[in-house]
Structure 1
């Protein structure tokens, strides 16, 4: 499962104090700069991922998951010590501003053409437990597939009808431990669905990770299900957490964080990545793949590569920094694949966001720790992603478009409902429609969550919005697909309530009339259906 927080400009003294408390020198006043970097050198791959022989299944039914009360609310483990994360969160919430600095109710100068909503419908829900939902989804020409900790739902994308609903336990044929952190991507090139998830450890030697690949473009049909145990490196008991899922033309790309148990909890020992060859996965063959050590880079997001680039770029945002980590992966899934660290990408210094406030309660919503929660979009030499940071005491999504040739930010901005809203749990996807040689990402689509406790109080909303490549950098306002009628507090007052862990945006691959494929998108995000129950909402939006 997952957790969230926001970040913004950082006081250098605070960053330095954190580094000193951890025994780390900070020559450039940021946490990220304290970690050694081996730019230009291939990273080690000392282990291999050994996939099981796949089982072809067509699961049905909704077996009850085994929910363990002491685990159901565990978020993604942070890549800095929990007590330090709590200090940063407390600092971010000390003096919330009445309005974000520089925000006066409108975007910066420039053309603005937000894509209007094209409707929405309810996704999966859960009356209790299994918090947060870990909501994710993907769209094809005929279907929308949503995955949550409660199960997998297949919807007719035109009318929102739920066609199939299967629990994770039934889908993967496993109920020894609770399954969580589900993700799904649709491969538009080969018309295959890829679903992933993991389970809590069975013991210090066994933790199951699952991958399922559809045998056709129909997600109601059969899947080939693979499993593996994360390599032990070399100690036993390591915990594999927050895996993400991406694609290039030849491989399914996986990233994850790895933690080592201690007497006091878990220590972050690094992030990992590997590529699984589509030629093997999609044809029901089992094999092994090199398991790359990305070091102490923080949570790493893989890309969905939208062209035939032989290299995929992975990016990470640490909980507080003035730079992003960038990796170039070439030939993933092959015997000679490599991952090479690139020069860091300088950005405006940021730190973790405060929790999101709700009207009528002291219970706040979790905004995680400034990590990239979802995969990136890669088109040409441009890489697009978004994370939540602290902007003047407000949790605020910040997006970056990175030039992978120069390791620089070519464009960037914020995503907010209003100048005084709390905005969080974002994701973004880009499209080549309308792109140019200089800026190949011509369309951007976002989803996020929003609350407001000041000028126009409202409970949590499901939001969506977007911009053309020629629009102003900030996205303001957006579409509202759902607004809760009461606050969310299943854990009680004065508590941080688990929320979302992630959301998803995917580009609609269908053309309609004069609207070309790539001009519209589908979003999915958590919504709240009661004080202690969650649901989800699937929305459509587009520029035509």
Structure 2
């Protein structure tokens, strides 16, 4: 979700509420049929580097000026008592699923930020992708780095910088999928990339695909912040689209599509339907953990009193559809303030209340998390949506935070069916997030993880600490420093003698090496030994 820092965004809509008319039950329009390139079969190596766009920032789906105003307004709101501090709906500190160790991930000593840290775990490996540092393949047991390839070398492209990488491991098909896109070559050309491993071994060969997102000729549309999920038949992608205007780039809507696994995973030429999702804000696809024929997509738009829910059926097929569902009523949520750091006035960017990562979908339940305003501090809030009723029932939402004075953001969550029931098929939840504390028990940025059972209190407080910075982060002349943009939690697909499948997760999140350099930390935690 990188773009030139100086861009000023404007929208023909009221900030804080989606302007898209919600026409539930009506299929969305597929505006184009897209053809992927014929794949190249490669075994990527090397560290080729294109020109670097220094100090990039995100493209928000509300005007940048308005977003800055909302951030400033949120920072001035009186502190709201967190659930653990209040008598009503209080949450005792959980004993989190214990940390089972962590190891150092990829790092970038210069220039490219934020890292857009993302990763996934398989039976033997952990694969991490970041801006700048590229693709890293680790032995998941001992944390040894087995291979590191730049994004330019991995995809075989150096015309522009590649960014926004994501990775998933499809444990039923035993394939890895990595996605990313490049900055525009000109106003009509922007490359989007997909890589699919030919086996479960990420050290082996990959099919490399590419396409150029469709647009009206000469408009200069920019494809941004793609997210990556899948169901049993298709790899599912969402993205935000922006168009240059007099005041900079304008958000013109979001897009979604599915690519047939049967083609992608076998190195065959394929095409797909490209859906206009409208002005919904950033849309998160699901990772569907069962054989549900439908995949549900969800979006949050700051200042709203609902979540937008979409049902996709048959994505990757010629007759695939996406249909608007009834809005999901929730308590109003607002843009979070940026996170403060001890010892400096510089703050860390907490984004704009969007869902930053893919959802977990099990049965009729959809799980995701975003950062909202908790008064004068950022606070992650998770929801478990009943997709049959388009509701978030009582006891199926809560908050995640380290402590009473912490500032918590850049979250991700994944759910497991272990311990689930027919009424609530998500029996385990695992989280990662970033935490700072400037006032109560001061500390710099920490990589956090935690979890809950379906029967636990809804609010997750405390958590494990996998890494902690020794100084504040100040890599640029900006007063708001880029951080994260996303993180990742994935469920371990293999068992050990002491830990059945579904009870352990791997997390990866940005960490800070020193005042100017970012790194990452990969951690394990589980409800098991």
- Is this a same-fold pair by TM over 0.5? yes
Instruction: Tell me the distance in 1 between the aligned counterparts of 2:287 and 2:127.
Output: 17
Q: Match for 1:350 among 304, 309, 333?
A: 333
1:66 deviates by 1.8
1:254 deviates by 0.3
Distance 1:2 1:539, change over 3 A: farther
1:131 equivalent to 2:117? Answer no
Match of 1:83 in 2: 65
Q: Deviation digits for residues 91-129 of structure 1, max 9, x if unmatched?
A: 0011452x6344428983579452010000000001111
1:75 deviates by 2.5
Cα contact 1:386–1:399 (8 A) shared by 2:
yes
Q: Match for 1:104 among 85, 96, 103?
A: 85
1:359 equivalent to 2:345? Answer no
Cα contact 2:107–2:520 (8 A) shared by 1:
yes
Match of 1:436 in 2: 421
Q: Match for 1:214 among 183, 197, 204?
A: 197
Cα contact 2:2–2:163 (8 A) shared by 1:
no
Cα contact 2:299–2:308 (8 A) shared by 1:
yes
Distance 1:522 1:22, change over 3 A: closer
Instruction: Tell me the distance in 2 between the aligned counterparts of 1:153 and 1:275.
Output: 26
1:386 equivalent to 2:369? Answer yes
Distance 1:120 1:109, change over 3 A: closer
1:393 deviates by 1.1
Instruction: Tell me the distance in 1 between the aligned counterparts of 2:310 and 2:95.
Output: 33
Match of 1:518 in 2: 502
Match of 1:37 in 2: 22
Match of 1:257 in 2: 240
1:73 deviates by 2.4
Secondary structure of 1:169 counterpart: helix
Instruction: Tell me the distance in 2 between the aligned counterparts of 1:170 and 1:482.
Output: 30
Q: Deviation digits for residues 136-177 of structure 1, max 9, x if unmatched?
A: 000000000000012000000000000000000000000000
1:197 equivalent to 2:183? Answer no
Secondary structure of 1:408 counterpart: coil
Instruction: Tell me the distance in 2 between the aligned counterparts of 1:375 and 1:442.
Output: 18
1:79 deviates by 0.7
Instruction: Tell me the distance in 1 between the aligned counterparts of 2:46 and 2:12.
Output: 52
Instruction: Tell me the distance in 2 between the aligned counterparts of 1:451 and 1:514.
Output: 34
Cα contact 2:55–2:476 (8 A) shared by 1:
no
Secondary structure of 1:186 counterpart: strand
1:238-249 matched pairs, under 5 angstroms: 238-249=221-232
1:266-305 matched pairs, under 5 angstroms: 266-305=249-288
Instruction: Tell me the distance in 2 between the aligned counterparts of 1:109 and 1:256.
Output: 36
Instruction: Tell me the distance in 2 between the aligned counterparts of 1:534 and 1:110.
Output: 33
1:93 equivalent to 2:88? Answer no
Q: Deviation digits for residues 493-520 of structure 1, max 9, x if unmatched?
A: x610000110000000111114210100
Cα contact 1:508–1:517 (8 A) shared by 2:
yes
Q: Deviation digits for residues 36-78 of structure 1, max 9, x if unmatched?
A: 111101100021221000000001111234203xxx3222211
Q: CA RMSD in A?
A: 1.7
Instruction: Tell me the distance in 1 between the aligned counterparts of 2:81 and 2:465.
Output: 21
Cα contact 2:233–2:262 (8 A) shared by 1:
yes
Match of 2:459 in 1: 474
Q: Match for 1:504 among 482, 488, 494?
A: 488
Match of 1:312 in 2: 295
Cα contact 1:111–1:472 (8 A) shared by 2:
no
Q: Report the number of matched residues.
A: 518
Q: Deviation digits for residues 426-471 of structure 1, max 9, x if unmatched?
A: 0000000000000000000000000001110000000000000000
Secondary structure of 1:86 counterpart: helix
1:233 deviates by 4.2
Q: Structure 2: which 5+ runs fail to align?
A: 4-9
Match of 1:542 in 2: 526
